[in-house]
Copies of this chain bind each other. A is one copy, B any other.
Amino acid sequence: MEHESPRTVRIALGSRSYDILVGPGLIAGAGREIARRLPGARAAIVTDETVAGLHLPALLASLGAAGLEATPIVLPAGERTKSFEQLVALVDRLLELRLERGDAVIALGGGVIGDLAGFAAGIVKRGMRFVQVPTTLLAQVDSSVGGKTGINSPRGKNLVGVFHQPDLVIADTSVLDTLAPREFAAGYAEMVKYGLIDRPDFFAWLEENRPAIFAGGAQRAEAVAQCCRAKAVVVEEDEREDGRRALLNLGHTFGHALEAGVAYDPARLVHGEGVAIGMALAHRFSARLGLCPPEDAARAAAHLEAAGLPTRIGQIPGAGFTCEALMGKIAQDKKVKRGRLTFILTRGIGQSFVSDDVDPAKVEAFLKDEIDAR
């Protein structure tokens, strides 16, 4: 499963098709790749304070060498940046720079920067060109692929946004070397997700190659490219998330409820950790319903644990969760229809499916036992 880098993953969406370039050290050639695809464009680089200190100089140098005029816009790091206030300020900056529809917004950062900058690019002049340079593992394997952009509202996460496909994604796997180990592991949970959804061979390959991926070898780039391809297949089938794309939410109904339960405090739980616990729960719940062999649920959890990820509600530091509170969050979730819950369940490793007919009482009983198991 090893190739020479950079690997190119093509997202085939008709006139909105684009390439994802994956490999170590790609930022050095980013200017050339962007200039080739958007000749004559000017650019604004949107990034956060942490990433700016680490990787902005290299990107600026690369754009400069390619003759691309680019202005950096540096925002605070963290989920709170995905707000209407920051959106309005960013849009104003882009307009102040007099950028046109053919000019580019370049997002250099994690999912927060990608989601905010992509939304701004989607609405300035009703749609500017957009380039993603994802710098977290989560952003490389998940948020930068598929065109979902947006911000949070005081009423909930990701409630406002647009579908706006990028013109190019450059996933430089070397920049992940500066990522906090906890953030790397969180992104790894999303990697594991692709295996658990419908790629049992990829899951087995991850079991073998996890240490190399964490260490940064060629396997890391290979793994990122495999995940982009996996997500691409789903996005190509269902660009606007009306059906099959729901499978990508494996582990997320439980995960979101847990994140909300800690009031999105990243000191207690980051998104990927919530997803790791959520996927373990989805497998154990499926086992309890008699759908999934218990050995497969144990195998999924064991792999996540080996990667340093939590798999039990009781591992979340701080005050305990009540079953009522979690069920309330789950019911609030958008995946509820006429009193039955929509859940991603599984018949085993790599055999997930969407069920829109899950009995809330069974979820509640299951969660009660899981909380007590702490």
Contacts and interface: CB of A to CB of B under 8 A. Distances in A.
Interface of A: 84, 88, 91-92, 95-96, 100, 122-127, 148, 150, 153-156, 159-163, 240-241, 334
By Cβ-Cβ distance, the 10 closest A-B pairs, closest first, are A95-B155, A126-B161, A84-B88, A123-B160, A95-B153, A95-B159, A123-B162, A91-B160, A162-B162, A126-B163
B162 A100 contact: no
Contact of A334 (B100, B127, B150): B100
Contact of A240 (B122, B127, B161, B163): B127
Given A92-B154, A126-B150, A127-B162, 8 more contacts: A84-B88, A88-B88, A91-B153, A95-B160, A123-B150, A124-B159, A126-B241, A127-B163
A123 B163 CA distance: 9
Nearest to A147: B126
A92 B100 CA distance: 29
Contacts of A160: 91, 95, 123-126
Contacts of A96: 155
A73 to B, nearest CB: 16
Copies in the assembly, this chain: 2
Contacts of A124: 159-160
30 contacts: A84-B88, A91-B160, A92-B153, A92-B154, A92-B155, A95-B153, A95-B155, A95-B156, A95-B160, A96-B155, A100-B334, A122-B162, A123-B123, A123-B150, A123-B160, A123-B162, A124-B159, A124-B160, A125-B159, A125-B160, A125-B334, A126-B148, A126-B150, A126-B162, A126-B240, A126-B241, A127-B162, A127-B163, A127-B240, A162-B162
A123 B161 contact: yes
Nearest to A119: B123
A241 B100 CA distance: 14
- Tell me what chain A mostly uses at the interface: helix, strand, loop, or mixed: mixed
Contacts of A95: 153, 155-156, 159-160
A328 to B, nearest CB: 14
A249 to B, nearest CB: 15
A348 B356 CA distance: 62
A49 to B, nearest CB: 24
A161 B101 CA distance: 12
Nearest to A87: B84
Contacts of A156: 95
Nearest to A154: B92
Nearest to A159: B95
Contacts of A162: 122-123, 126-127, 162
A245 to B, nearest CB: 12
Contacts of A150: 123, 126
- Max count, chain B CB within 10 A of own CB: residue among A100, A160, A334: A160
A327 to B, nearest CB: 18
A91 B162 CA distance: 13
A38 to B, nearest CB: 15
A91 B155 CA distance: 11
Nearest to A241: B126
Contacts of A125: 159-160, 334
Nearest to A153: B95
Nearest to A337: B100
Contacts of A155: 92, 95-96
Contacts of A334: 100, 125
A111 to B, nearest CB: 15
A91 B122 CA distance: 17
A330 B154 CA distance: 41
